[in-house]
Amino acid sequence: MPRERLSQFSKGEKVKILGVHCGKDFSRRLSDLGLFDGAKVEIIKNDHFGPVIIKILNSKLALGRGEANKIYVEKI
């Protein structure tokens, strides 16, 4: 199954994180926020410009488009 980037999904879609391709500092930051391999998130807002807002557990996070492009996911 081809891997897609978090920034490619639309509002309301649920995805599972397959991997994060970035430096160790950014990877650690995402992990601290709960974004690690296997985590399930819901897209709250993605207008295909500006930040991507996601929901993980009971929290909402805003990720810059560049950050969202480094997170590979699959639809669930």
3-class DSSP assignment, residue 3:
coil
Average pLDDT over residues 46-67: 93
Average pLDDT over residues 19-26: 87
CA dihedral of residues 2, 34, 36, 69 (deg, nearest 10): 50
1 pLDDT higher than 60: no
- Residue 29 token pair: 């930051």
Cβ neighbours around 19 below 10 Å, total: 14
Q: The domain containing residue 69 runs over which residues?
A: 4-75
> How many domains, the chain?
1
* Residue 20: CATH number of its domain: 2.30.30.90
The answer to whether 21 and 70 are in contact (CB under 8 A) is yes
Average pLDDT over residues 3-17: 94
Q: Is 55 exposed, middle or buried (0-12, 13-18, 19+ CB in 10 A)?
A: middle
Average pLDDT over residues 13-21: 93
Is the full-model pTM beyond 0.75? Answer: yes
45 pLDDT higher than 80: yes
